[in-house]
């Protein structure tokens, strides 16, 4: 399957706002909508945007309908995800992959959106962008400057500034398609048809609220599944609130170093991507190259 690069977002475009994951109070989203309108964009809201079905933003059928509708609608030029939480993986079997592939629009989200974005790339080859959750990233206090710049550079120009300061644990150069996101979501798709081909991929990972032993468990699961045997290398990003319950349990750095001794590919930490307020947007499917502790992201898929 060939990768599909989405269209560039143009000024005054109409943005589709969707909630494929968790529910939330409508007031949480209003600062983000006001911000997007102030940038000159029109807004189209999904029908189940503010719905609630237990911890989900509507039923699976409702949330999948919004995604299918937004991709098929020629007046919608990009899809923005309202928040993460949980639930996007529940929609994968309900999506119209053929329609999505025929309408290659940019989609941007974070966290739980990882499941949707990996499925999107696996089933259609469509490149998407990980690095923005509207409810949490755009508040009455505004948006972090680095995150803001990275979002619009990615969506409007497919431009990514070099990322310096990667810290090697297992040294080596690497190049290949960038594939990754939230570790727990990636691990949850093992054994399904919604994981992309990892051959020669640069795998980038982050997570939040998982103590070191759980990070260890998920990495071990991926290792047993053979994913790291195929990969060009691994980039660890921000792991927020992932401290051990007790100091004797060791640190996350201990987990990463132990992991690096078990794989044969290069392993780096300190990628500025994750649940921190300040982050870089990562494209799922574009081509990256790591040399001299620096990540260069190309506008192409090769």
**Catalytically active residues, by annotation:** 111, 206, 275
- A 10 A CB-CB count for 82 gives 29
Q: Where are the alpha helices (DSSP H) in the chain?
A: 30-38, 60-72, 97-102, 113-124, 134-137, 145-157, 183-188, 212-224, 227-230, 252-262
- 155: part of which helix (H) or strand (E)? helix 145-157
CA angle 67, 206, 218 (to 5 degrees): 95
Q: How far is CA 125 from CA 3, 56, 118, 121, in A?
A: 4, 27, 9, 4
Give the chain's length. Answer: 302
Tell me which residue of 18, 80, 90 sits closest to 54, measured CA to CA.
90
Kindly report the number of other CB atoms within 10 A of residue 5's CB atom: 17
Alpha-carbon dihedral angle through residues 132, 211, 203, 77, given to the nearest 10 degrees: -20
State the helix-helix crossing angle for 252-262 and 212-224, rounded to 10 degrees.
20
- Edge-to-edge order in the sheet of strand 202-208: 167-170, 267-269, 233-240, 202-208, 174-182, 287-291, 294-297
Question: What is the rounded CA–CA span in Å between residue 230 and residue 243?
Answer: 30
Which one-letter DSSP state was computed for residue 41?
-
DSSP helix/strand/coil, 85: coil
């Amino acid at each position: 399957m060939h990768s599909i690069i989405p269209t560039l977002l143009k000024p005054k475009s109409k943005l589709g706002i969707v909630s494929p994951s968790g529910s939330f109070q409508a007031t949480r989203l209003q600062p983000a909508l006001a911000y997007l309108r102030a940038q000159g964009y029109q807004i189209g809201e999904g029908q189940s945007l503010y719905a609630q079905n237990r911890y989900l933003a509507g039923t699976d059928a409702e949330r999948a309908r919004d995604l299918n509708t937004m991709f098929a609608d020629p007046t919608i030029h990009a899809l923005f995800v309202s928040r993460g939480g949980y639930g996007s993986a529940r929609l994968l079997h309900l999506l119209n992959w053929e329609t999505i592939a025929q309408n290659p629009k940019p989609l941007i989200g974070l966290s739980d959106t990882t499941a949707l974005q990996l499925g999107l790339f696996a089933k259609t080859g469509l490149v998407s962008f990980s690095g923005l959750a509207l409810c949490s990233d755009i508040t009455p206090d505004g948006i972090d400057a680095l995150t803001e710049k990275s979002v619009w550079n990615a969506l409007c120009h497919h431009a990514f500034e070099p990322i310096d300061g990667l810290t090697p644990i297992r040294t080596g150069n690497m190049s290949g398609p960038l594939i990754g996101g939230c570790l727990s979501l990636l691990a949850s798709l093992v054994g399904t048809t919604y994981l992309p081909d990892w051959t020669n991929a640069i795998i980038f990972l982050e997570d939040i609220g998982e103590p070191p032993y759980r990070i260890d468990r998920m990495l071990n699961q991926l290792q047993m599944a053979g994913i790291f045997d195929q990969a060009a290398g691994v980039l660890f990003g921000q792991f927020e609130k992932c401290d051990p319950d007790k100091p004797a349990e060791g640190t996350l750095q201990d987990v990463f170093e132990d992991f690096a001794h078990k794989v044969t590919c290069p392993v780096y930490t300190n990628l500025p991507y994750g649940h921190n307020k300040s982050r870089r947007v990562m494209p799922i499917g574009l081509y990256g190259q790591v040399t001299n502790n620096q990540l260069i992201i190309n506008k192409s898929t090769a």
